[in-house]
Amino acid sequence: MVAVAILAAGRGTRMKSSLPKVLHDLGGRSLVERVLGSLSGVAIDRCFVIVGYQSEFVRETLQSFPDLEFVEQAQQLGTGHAIQQILPHLQGYSGDLLVLNGDVPLLRAETLKNLLQTHQSHQNAATLLTAHLSQPKGYGRVFCDDQNRVEEIIEDRDCTPPQRQNQRVNAGIYCFRWADLERVLPQLQPNNDQQEYYLTDVVRDLSPVMAVDVEDFQEILGINDRKQLSAAAKILQTRLKDDWMAAGVTLIDPESITIDDTVTLEPDVVIEPQTHLRGNTTIAGGSRIGPGSLIENSQIGERVTVLYSVITDSVVQAGTSVGPYAHLRGHAQVGAECRVGNFVELKNSTLGDRTNVAHLSYLGDTTTGERVNIGAGTITANYDGVRKHKTKIGDRTKTGSNSVLVAPVTLGADVNIAAGSVVTENVPDDCLVIARARQVLKPGWRLKHSAD
């Protein structure tokens, strides 16, 4: 039996934030969600989350995780005090307790599985993750005997200068035989610089306690301040990009690209520099995105190109080209083999296949058929100051340059609109519409009016 306790009650003073530390965002998910994520595939029977500072907010953030048991730590008197709060919940429990720090978000599930396995196969009273850091500042130092048995853990601030030289640090990730921990937990004393009850002090009273080094020290980096948060984001990005490249995606200048871990890419996608992929975005094979593009919560089909453009909450189908400098938003849906070009904005609009909107247009709340050509500078006037109205455009219709379609308005199929028209009434199929003042010519006008 394995129960888990996640320490998430602290405020995180060093973040200098009104937000609880464990709710700070790391690449699209909060720290504590990532810690929970590191348990995926690990067989556990119960999962406690110890909450305190802004506990309502933490509970709310974790709503979507089933079967969490929240335990309040009203005052944050230290990590040992936090674990003491679950004593009443685990009376008579005879399994192991895996303790995770809510601010250690880069752990891999594999590492936790190995820790549990080592703990159980050696029948330890406690087993903890350690790493050797070249810059161990801020971490508890782990002191072992010559058999690798842990004798004590001393916090950085409580170390003597020679003790501080020890580079073996405590990751804040432990596995305890609960019956043993239950016995020693109530005896903790706050005899330290912070006058807190340290969970790490229990190792003095337990035996045997074993330290297990992680292979990749980056996994155990804790987040205490904004600088560490940004370092973790970078590590996460590197991991993610390495995985995508291994899966057949080309990243040109990966350092300049950011990708949320909620994004899905197919093999043979090419991502160019300064491109950012966010949220629930998928990009199909053969597409080339960037340079200089932002795609968020959007589905991009095969062989699409996107150049210096922003696409949010939208769908673009196969073979379409977008940009340079286009903006698709508010559920734009662009069909296959379309061209959405320079300085074009599409909002809540659907374009049929092989439709072009190539230059300087705004289409809002518009639906077009197939093979439509929207002339340069065509604008849908979809807002009357109070409400938004719809424009419909039939198959093969062509709008002239600089025409304004005043919604609500419907244009049939095979319609041609003369340049500069302001169309306010519906147009049936197969018509030419000229809705502008006729040109007036006044020969000799300049001579009469500019005598001097």
Cβ contacts of 15-20, under 8 Å, gap ≥ 24: 15/224, 15/225, 15/226, 15/229, 16/225, 16/226, 19/54, 19/57, 20/53, 20/54, 20/57, 20/58
Q: Of residues 380-439, which lie at the interface with ligand UD1 (CB under 6 A)?
A: none
CB of 343 to ligand UD1, least distance (A): 48
**Per the residue annotation, which of 81, 89, 132, 359 is the catalytic one?**
359
Q: Return the number of the residue (14 or 113) whose C-beta is nearest ligand UD1.
A: 14
Among Ca ion, ligand UD1, none, partner that 17 touches (CB below 5 to 8 angstroms by kind): none
Exposed, middle or buried, 449 (CB in 10 Å: 0-12/13-18/19+)?
exposed
Annotated active-site residue 389? The verdict is no
* 20 belongs to the binding site for Ca ion (CB under 5 A): no
Q: Is residue 102 near ligand UD1 by the rule CB under 6 A? A: yes
Site string for Ca ion, 217-256 (x = CB under 5 A): -----x-x--------------------------------
Q: What tokens does 193 get? A: 């610089």
**Could you say which of ligand UD1, Ca ion, none residue 305 binds, taking C-beta under 5 to 8 angstroms by partner kind?**
none
Query: Does residue number 155 form part of the binding site for Ca ion (CB under 5 A)?
Result: no
At 110, give phi and psi (nearest 5°): -55, -45
Task: Select 154 or 263, whichever has its Cβ closest to Ca ion.
Answer: 154
Return phi, psi of residue 161, to 5°.
-50, -45
Pairing status of strand 294-296 against strand 276-278? parallel
Number of residues that bind Ca ion (CB under 5 A): 3
Assign 3-state DSSP to the chain and report helix, strand, coil percentages, each to 5. 20, 30, 45
* Four-CA torsion 10, 15, 16, 19, nearest 10 degrees: -60
Contact (CB, 8 A) for 238 and 257: no
CA atoms within 13 A on the CB side of 251: 22
The residue number whose beta carbon is nearest to ligand UD1 equals 140
* Residue 26 beta carbon to Ca ion: minimum distance, rounded to whole angstroms: 14
* Residue 78 found at the interface with Ca ion (CB under 5 A): no
Regarding 73 and contact with ligand UD1 (CB under 6 A), the answer is yes
Among the listed residues 47, 50, 235, 304, the single contact to ligand UD1 using CB under 6 A: 50
Residues 404-443 as x/- pattern, contact with Ca ion by CB under 5 A: ----------------------------------------
Backbone φ and ψ for 178, nearest 5 degrees, come out as -55, -40
DSSP run (H or E) holding 114: helix 109-121
- Report the site for ligand UD1 in 18-37 (rule: CB under 6 A): 21-22
Task: Show contacts with ligand UD1 in window 125-154 (CB under 6 A).
Answer: 139-140, 153
Q: Is 311 in the site for ligand UD1 (CB under 6 A)?
A: no
324-339: string of b/e by CB count within 10 Å (b at 16+)?
ebbbbbeebbbbbbbb
103 sits near Ca ion (criterion: CB under 5 A): yes
CB 305 to ligand UD1: min, Å = 44
Query: Per rule CB under 6 A, is residue 103 in the interface with ligand UD1?
Result: yes
- Give Cα 19 distance to the centre of its chain: 18
The structure tokens 């730590």 sit at 73
Binding site for Ca ion (CB under 5 A): 103, 222, 224
The catalytic residues are 359
Binding site for ligand UD1 (CB under 6 A): 7-10, 21-22, 50, 73, 76-79, 81-82, 101-104, 139-140, 153, 155, 169-172, 198-200, 222, 224
